[in-house]
Chains A and B, each alone.
Chain A
């Protein structure tokens, strides 16, 4: 049982999972990470540790994962294709596994143009699909990406990937999800859902093909602090759709932060009750980690199941 991640056990047993996100700091102290981890510990099943999110240099995802693990939370190490070639990826992931990490999330990563090192060389040696495929093969067939045999102690990760129902071309989004599942993705976290209608259409297509029976889909939600934040995402973040009504609702609210949390809780409840095929939620409270326990509790997802 030691090899199975807690997240996998919860999902495989058919329970509704809750994951959150911790963004490592732009410095080398783990104090903040530990603070957030302790706060979230009893409220989530695992937490993503972002990997130089938006191409901004931050404390390493794997190192942060160790701190989180020491606080008693299961980390989901994020691995982007932007910064490492296939040699570095395998080495880092074997290292992560040796340190006790059991979940990995494979992403292509935001382009370096948006970060604090826009003149860096982008690597993109392999893409996220290939990363998923080869990590699965590493585990199931004991082979390095090159095809060379791993004599012993192959890393046995629970493999995750992302899906963005709000990017284009829309019809291809489900194809790509299916392709990721075929490649070996076992759980999927979606991009933040603001446009529920589109998400439901997406899930309808997913169910039609029975993909929800082959992979665990966790719906991504994000509490917004202000209408300005909503407007910013609406206008400036590609691959995201924020409906005007949502911006308006935050604008008209007396206490926008409260409203943001309320909206997020409504979304979770709605998804859990109405959108078939969703197996959990992924709460991305970007730079607002403190609010996660409240969201989980008020959504009726507390206490979390015990496993192992």
Chain B
């Protein structure tokens, strides 16, 4: 899932400092799972803003709504009636949600309440970790199911680098060296010889080459 984190309350307050009426829009997708922008967080944020503005003698009318998903046009249609007289919309979705709202409500000031961080999963409750860099050309079959693009601090495909020690990455004792993990796993699988194969450079045109990527499935298209 996409992991996001709420921006500091102060920063969000700044973005809507000159607004009187604001709609806070949560998302029931990924950001609910990572406890950053679901229904509960949306209510909490809206009320925090109300209290803050009351204390500043500058009351804020804050309403809320939580979409099933902000990254699907059909789920933001119900907002049409809710946004009419607001000065701003605060989105508690990932960056996709914010952009979908901005696109649909062209005359509205739409701001992000979250920082969209990465795609990953939970390690323990309240602890998420990045696992994939969305490179568009997965090579996990060559690296024992451990992604060096994102989990190695230098994205080395022919690792490990000279900074790997005691299983940890040179950047921090809290970061596992991805290549130590890859080595251990390939060894356990009896496939160490695979690591001797030269891995060619990544084809970044399938990843971040400067334009948005698209995925088309004609079989499920309606028209």
A16 within 8 A of B: no
Q: For the complex, would chain A's binding face be called helix, strand, loop or mixed by DSSP majority?
A: loop
Which of these binds chain B: A35-43, A106-114, A148-156, A269-277? A106-114
A178 within 8 A of B: yes
Cβ-closest 4 pairs across A and B? A164-B162, A129-B158, A238-B170, A127-B156
**Interface mask (A142-166 → B, CB under 8 Å = 1, otherwise 0):** 0001000000000000000011101
A169 within 8 A of B: yes
- Whether A125 pairs with B201 at a CB distance below 8 angstroms is yes
Given the complex, which residues of B lie within 8 Å of A145, measured CB to CB? 201
B167 within 8 A of A: yes
- Whether B160 pairs with A168 at a CB distance below 8 angstroms is yes
Given the complex, which residues of A lie within 8 Å of B180, measured CB to CB? 168-169
Given the complex, which residues of B lie within 8 Å of A99, measured CB to CB? none
**Interface mask (A176-188 → B, CB under 8 Å = 1, otherwise 0):** 1011001100000
A50 within 8 A of B: no
A226 within 8 A of B: no
**Interface mask (B186-222 → A, CB under 8 Å = 1, otherwise 0):** 0000001001101111101000000000000000000
A299 within 8 A of B: no
Name the one of B164, B196, B201, B204 contacting A239, with C-beta atoms under 8 angstroms.
B164
- Whether B154 pairs with A81 at a CB distance below 8 angstroms is yes
Per the CB 8 Å criterion, the residue count for chain A at the interface is: 35
Q: Given A108-B161, A125-B204, A133-B198, 17 more contacts at CB 8 Å?
A: A111-B154, A111-B171, A113-B153, A113-B171, A126-B201, A127-B159, A127-B201, A128-B156, A128-B158, A130-B201, A163-B162, A167-B165, A168-B167, A169-B160, A169-B183, A169-B184, A238-B165
Chain B min CB distance to A149 (Å): 19
Given the complex, which residues of B lie within 8 Å of A183, measured CB to CB? 198
Given the complex, which residues of A lie within 8 Å of B171, measured CB to CB? 111, 113
Chain B residues engaging chain A, CB cutoff 8 angstroms: 153-171, 177, 180, 183-184, 192, 195-196, 198-202, 204
- Whether A169 pairs with B164 at a CB distance below 8 angstroms is yes
Given the complex, which residues of B lie within 8 Å of A127, measured CB to CB? 154-159, 201
Given the complex, which residues of A lie within 8 Å of B204, measured CB to CB? 125
A302 within 8 A of B: no
Name the one of B155, B163, B195, B196 contacting A167, with C-beta atoms under 8 angstroms.
B163
A124 within 8 A of B: yes
Given the complex, which residues of A lie within 8 Å of B202, measured CB to CB? 125-126
Given the known interface contacts A111-B153, A172-B183, the answer about A130 and B162 at a Cβ–Cβ threshold of 8 Å is no
Given the complex, which residues of B lie within 8 Å of A81, measured CB to CB? 154
How long is the Cα–Cα vector from A295 to B157 in the complex, in angstroms? 38
Closest residue of A by beta carbon distance from B155: A124
A266 within 8 A of B: no
A-B contact pairs, 15 of them (CB 8 A): A108-B156, A122-B153, A127-B157, A127-B201, A128-B158, A130-B201, A133-B198, A167-B161, A167-B164, A168-B164, A168-B166, A168-B177, A169-B184, A176-B158, A176-B159
- Whether A176 pairs with B163 at a CB distance below 8 angstroms is no
How long is the Cα–Cα vector from A22 to B9 in the complex, in angstroms? 49
How long is the Cα–Cα vector from A82 to B170 in the complex, in angstroms? 14
How long is the Cα–Cα vector from A81 to B161 in the complex, in angstroms? 12
Scoring B162, B163, B199, B200 by chain A CB atoms within 10 A of each residue's CB, the highest score goes to: B162
